[in-house]
Structure formats: structure tokens, C-alpha cells
């Protein structure tokens, strides 16, 4: 529960800070990694792809704030996709008509 709270606080706190190039590229790299993992599990989400694209476009324009926001969003979506794919590895069997 405590970790959850800290994570929640961090998530809220991040956009409030002015982003710089380092934080933006770090966030984008992390998002790319999460999305690659989702892809390897055969579960890339369209909105995650869209957020990544927006982040890359913002990075090219050196708009660090937008890069950070979009990359953070992309990573959150990609992480959820990874979680979904991992759960479904076993859960799908429950849906099979027998």
C-alpha cells in the first residue's frame, strides 16, 4: 500500500517538474522498452503506439515537456498491455467452450 502511494505521488509529481532533455529521452527509452516487450508478447496497443509516436515527434522538436508526458503515457499503456498479455497466457483457457 505504501509503495502504491509513493508511486501515485511520483506519477502526479513528474509532470509538474519542468522536463529537460535527459529526463525526456530517459522516459522515451523506457517507453520504447515497454512497448517492445508488449510487442514480443503479441499485444501492442494502438493508443500506446500513438503516444510513442507523439513522444518521438515532440523529441524531434526538442519539446521536452511533451516528450516526457507522452512517453510516460505510452509506458503506462504499454505496461498495462504487458500485464494483460501475461495474465491472458493462462486466463484464456477459462474462456474456452468445453
Partner 1 sequence: MSLRRVSRRLAIAALIFSALGGAAPAPADGLATAAADQKAFQAFFKDRFPNLPVAEFGNGPYAVNAEMRKQWEDIMQFPPYDFALDEGKTAFETPFANGKSYADCFANGGIGVRQTYPTFDTKTGEVVTLDLAINRCRIANGEKPLPYQTGMMASITAYMAETSRDKPFDIKIPDDPRAIAAYEAGKEYFYTRRGQLNFACASCHVTSAGQRMRGDILAPAMGILAAFPIYRSDWGSMGTIDRRFTSCSSQMRSEPLPPQDPAYRNVEYFLSFMSNGVPITGPGTRP
List contacts with partner 1 (CB under 8 A): 42-49, 77, 81, 83-88, 90-93, 95-98
Distance, in Å, from the CA atom of 59 to the CA atom of 38, rounded to the nearest integer, reads 22
Instruction: Give the DSSP letter of residue 61.
Output: T
Based on CB atoms, which residue is closest to partner 1, 12 or 93? 93
Which residue is associated with the grid cell 510516460?
Answer: 72
Residue 62 DSSP class: T
Give the C-alpha separation, 28 to 51, whole Å.
10
- By beta-carbon proximity to partner 1, the closer residue of 23 and 43 is 43
In angstroms, give the least distance from the CB of 6 to partner 1: 15
Using the minimum distance from each CB to partner 1, give the nearer residue, 3 or 22.
Answer: 3
- For residue 62, which phi and psi values (nearest 5 degrees)? 55, 30
Shortest distance, position 25 Cβ to partner 1, whole Å: 24
d(CA 34, CA 45): 11
Shortest Cβ distance from residue 31 to partner 1 (Å)?
15
In the bound state with partner 1, the residue whose beta carbon lies nearer, of 24 and 52, is 52
Amino acid at each position: 500500500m505504501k509503495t502504491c502511494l509513493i508511486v501515485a505521488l511520483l506519477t502526479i509529481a513528474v509532470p509538474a517538474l519542468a522536463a529537460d532533455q535527459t529526463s525526456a529521452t530517459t522516459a522515451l527509452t523506457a517507453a520504447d522498452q515497454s512497448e517492445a516487450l508488449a510487442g514480443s508478447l503479441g499485444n501492442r496497443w494502438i493508443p500506446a503506439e500513438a503516444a510513442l509516436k507523439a513522444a518521438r515527434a515532440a523529441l524531434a522538436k526538442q519539446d521536452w515537456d511533451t516528450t516526457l508526458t507522452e512517453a510516460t503515457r505510452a509506458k503506462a499503456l504499454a505496461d498495462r498491455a504487458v500485464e494483460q498479455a501475461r495474465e491472458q497466457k493462462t486466463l484464456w483457457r477459462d474462456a474456452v467452450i468445453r
